[in-house]
Amino acid sequence: MRRWPGLLLAVLLVSGGVVYTVEQREQDLRARASAPTPARTTKPSRIAAAVAARRVAIDTILVRRAGAVQTGDEQQFLADVDPLNKKLVAAQKTLFANLMEIGFTEIGYSQAEERFNPALLKAHGRTTYLVRVLMRYQIPKVDFTPVTTELGYTFVARDGHWLLTADNELDPDLGPGAHREAWDLGRIEVQRAPRVMVLVEKGDTVRGRAIVRAANEGLAEVTAYWPLTWNGSVLVIALDQTDVRDARFADEDIESAASTGSTFSSLPGQDTADGTVAGGYIVINPNQRDHVDEILLSHEITHVVTAALGGYEPLWLAEGAAEYVSWRGIEAISGPAEVLKWEQEVADTAVPQLSSLPGDNGFYQNTTDVYGVSWLAVRYLVHRIGLGKVEELYEDMARNGIDQASRDRILLARTGLTEATLWTALTTYRPQR
Ligand SMILES: [Zn+2]
C-alpha cells in the first residue's frame, strides 16, 4: 500500500540528473572559454552534421516502431533491431505482442538527451549512441491524457544503418520504474471489464478474471463511499514479478500487498521538479495475487481516483481516506461492531505510541500502525465536519498542500483544527457510531 517513496525517489534522481547535466554544461562552457582558439578547420561542422544526421535517423526509427504498433506490423517493429542480438530480438517480439495486446490509442517515442558511458563505447564500438527515450502513450479509458515513461536505448551504426542493439544498458541511470512497465517484462495477458483492465502473465486467465471481479467490487465501493465523481477505468497489474514500475516488493521491510504508483503526463524534472501526475496504476505483490479482494482493491482504487488531483495531500490523509473507504466496505458486510472494535484497538494501542499525527517522512517505515491512526483521524474528521467536507478538504490538500504552511492553512480553514489540535482530539478519541 505504499505510494509515495517511488515518486519522491524519482524526484530526487531526476533532479540529480538535471543538476549533473547543468554542471556538465557549465564545465563544457568553462573548458571552451579557457581553451585556446582552435585553428580554423571544417571538423566541428562535420561533427555537428553527423550528429544532426544521426538524430534524424534515430527519430525515423522511433517513428517507424511506433507506427508498427499502430498498424500491427511486427516485421516493421523488428526492422531496426540488431539481428545479431538474438536475445534482444526475442525480447522485442514479446514487447511487440504485449503492446498490441494493450491496444494503445496513442503511442510515440522521442529522443531526450544523449548519455555517455565509456564502457559501452568500448563494448559496442565508436558509433555507439546511448540515448534516453521518452515513451508517450495513452491506454484507452485508463489514461485520461497521454502519459510519459522513460527508456534507454543503445544504437550502433553498421554498414551505414543504425540498429537498436540494447534496451537495458541505461536502466540503472533512469528513474525508478523505468523499463519496468508491465509490457516490458514477460508475455502478458489482458482481462477486461467496462471499467477495469487487469494485466496478468500469459495463460493466468482464471486469476486474471478473479481480479477483474474483485476490482469491479472495489470500484463500486469507492464510488459508494468516497464522494468524488470519477469516470475512469482501473488498471491492475498482477505479474509474477517483484519489481514492476516503482513498486518494489522484494526489499521491503514491511510486507505490503499492493501499491499504487503514479503515472505522469510530464515526468518529474521534465517541465517541473515534481512533474504532473495524471493518474495511478495498481501493482499487486506477486505472492499476494491469490488474496486480492475488494477490501484490498477499494483501498488502492481510492488512491487511483484521487491521484490526478495533484498528489500534495499529507500521507495521513491519503492513507486515512483509503482505509476509510475500505473499512466502510467491511462495515457493510460485517456490521458496525467490527469497526468499533478496531477503532478501539487503534485508539488503545497505536495512538499511545505516537506523539503527533504521522508525518510523511518515514511513514511507510513506521512500525506503529500509522494506517490505523490515519484512518482514525479521517473517521474523526467525518464525525466532525461530514464526509462531503472531508472530501473537499482532501481535494484542496491534494491541489494546494505543497508545503507545511499551506497544509496548516487549509486544515485550519476547513476544519477549525490544526494538526496539533487534531492530534489532541485523537488522543481522547472514543469510537462512536
Ligand atoms: Zn495506501
pLDDT bin (cut points 50, 70, 90) of residue 19 is very low
**Distance in Å, CA 429 to ligand 1 centroid:** 23
**Distance in Å, CA 19 to ligand 1 centroid:** 32
What grid cell was written down for 174? 533512469
126 pLDDT more than 80: yes
**Distance in Å, CA 282 to ligand 1 centroid:** 10
**Distance in Å, CA 322 to ligand 1 centroid:** 6
43 pLDDT more than 80: no
**Distance in Å, CA 298 to ligand 1 centroid:** 10
The rounded distance, in Å, linking the Cα atoms of 430 and 433 is 10
**Distance in Å, CA 351 to ligand 1 centroid:** 19
**Distance in Å, CA 319 to ligand 1 centroid:** 5
The rounded distance, in Å, linking the Cα atoms of 108 and 99 is 12
The rounded distance, in Å, linking the Cα atoms of 34 and 401 is 46
pLDDT of residue 21: 42
pLDDT of residue 41: 57
Phi-psi sector, 352: left (phi>0), alpha (psi -120 to 50), beta:
alpha
34 pLDDT more than 60: no
Q: How far is CA 240 from CA 47, 87, 283, in A?
A: 46, 21, 11
pLDDT bin (cut points 50, 70, 90) of residue 17 is very low
Q: How far is CA 212 from CA 186, 236, 259, in A?
A: 20, 8, 17
**Distance in Å, CA 364 to ligand 1 centroid:** 10
Counting residues of the chain whose pLDDT is more than 70, the rounded percentage is: 89
Among 125-134, 172-181, 252-261, 416-425, the least confident range? 252-261
1 pLDDT more than 90: no
**Distance in Å, CA 173 to ligand 1 centroid:** 28
| Residue 155 near residue 166 (C-beta atoms within 8 A) | no
Q: For 137-148, how does the pLDDT look when each residue is reduced to its tens digit (9 = 90+)? A: 999 999 999 999
**Distance in Å, CA 24 to ligand 1 centroid:** 39
Give me the mean pLDDT over the 94-106 stretch: 97
The overall average pLDDT reported for the chain is 90
The rounded distance, in Å, linking the Cα atoms of 17 and 59 is 23
**Distance in Å, CA 296 to ligand 1 centroid:** 9
pLDDT bin (cut points 50, 70, 90) of residue 22 is very low
Q: For 367-387, how does the pLDDT look when each residue is reduced to its tens digit (9 = 90+)? A: 899 999 999 999 999 999 999
pLDDT of residue 107: 98
Q: For 217-251, how does the pLDDT look when each residue is reduced to its tens digit (9 = 90+)? A: 999 999 999 999 999 999 999 999 999 999 988 86
- Distance of alpha carbon 127 from its chain centroid, rounded? 34
* Ligand 1 ion: residues within 5 Å (CB): 1, 319, 322
Counting residues of the chain whose pLDDT is more than 90, the rounded percentage is: 82
**Distance in Å, CA 334 to ligand 1 centroid:** 22
